């Protein structure tokens, strides 16, 4: 644990989910491959698309509709509809395929078990503090068994623009009924989580599992209040104040 600012007690915590409570990278890689297999099974011509073509289609739908930015589920839905149209499907058939594909992806995207360390930390902390989840992703917290630990779960898109924009942090502040300076946000991303939290007036805890110091991190722009490498350190941190 490393402190960058003078520590003061907090009354509530907010948590990022992806890559903070669990390794989301391996989850997404697996779910993406399963989705590609599903799409090829249900629309054989999609097998011809390369990874770069899928990425190009993703960027195209974002460029065509700026309102999609931050809505990861709707970006994927629009991307698949575009792919379907390139495969010769009608608008209605493409929309039906995209809806089914997104449902399949969301199921696979939440098909994993949260590590014991994260569950134990949330269980202990939620017994002492109100907690709110703030995520730019679309994981199903009910399916993962995380919902009971949080007073609210805020997602980019339905609940506001993606972090580091302030909207999700401000909604969390309202849910918690605390001054921003009394709320500690815990997250792995130096831009989305640390910068977003600090600009919203929250304290920021950087979860750093990279084994690389802050000085070499390309997204570093604002100092966190504290850095941890294991979620269990939060229990020591909160007991120490």
- Catalytic residue IDs: 16
Q: How far apart are CA 232 and CA 135, in angstroms?
A: 20
Cis peptide before 27 (omega within 30 of 0): no
Pairing of strands 203-207, 12-15: unpaired
What are residue 36's phi and psi, to 5 degrees? -60, -40
What are residue 157's phi and psi, to 5 degrees? 105, -85
**HSE toward the beta carbon, residue 229, CA cutoff 13 A:** 8
Q: Which helix (H) or strand (E) holds 13?
A: strand 12-15
The dihedral built from the CA positions of residue 109, 115, 116 and 120, taken in this order, carries a sign that is: negative
26: which DSSP letter?
Answer: H
C-alpha angle 211-216-218 in degrees, rounded to nearest 5 = 110
Pairing of strands 226-228, 2-3: antiparallel
Here the tokens at position 95 are 């929309």
Q: How far apart are CA 115 and CA 37, in angstroms?
A: 27
Could you tell me which of 195, 185, 230, 235 has the C-alpha nearest to residue 210?
A: 230
């Amino acid at each position: 644990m490393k402190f960058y600012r003078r520590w003061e007690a907090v009354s509530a915590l907010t948590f990022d989910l992806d890559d903070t409570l669990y390794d989301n990278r391996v989850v997404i890689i697996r779910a993406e491959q399963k989705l590609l297999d599903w799409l090829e099974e249900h629309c054989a011509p999609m097998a011809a698309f390369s990874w770069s073509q899928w990425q190009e289609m993703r960027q195209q739908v974002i460029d065509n509709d700026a309102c999609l930015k931050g809505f990861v589920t709707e970006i994927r839905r629009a991307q698949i509809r575009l792919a379907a149209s390139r495969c010769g499907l009608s608008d209605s058939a493409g929309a039906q395929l995209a809806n089914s594909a997104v449902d399949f992806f969301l199921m696979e995207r939440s098909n994993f078990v949260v590590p014991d360390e994260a569950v134990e930390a949330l269980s202990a902390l939620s017994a002492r503090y109100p907690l709110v989840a703030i995520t730019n992703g679309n994981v199903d917290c009910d399916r993962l068994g995380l919902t009971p630990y949080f007073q609210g779960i805020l997602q980019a898109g339905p609940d506001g623009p993606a972090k580091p924009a302030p909207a999700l942090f401000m909604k969390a502040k309202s849910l918690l009924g605390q001054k921003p300076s009394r709320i500690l946000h815990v997250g792995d991303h130096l831009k989305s989580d640390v910068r977003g939290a600090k600009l919203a007036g929250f304290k920021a805890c950087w979860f750093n599992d990279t084994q690389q110091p802050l000085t070499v991190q390309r997204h570093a722009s604002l100092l966190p209040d504290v850095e941890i490498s294991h979620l269990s350190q939060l229990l020591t941190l909160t007991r120490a104040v």
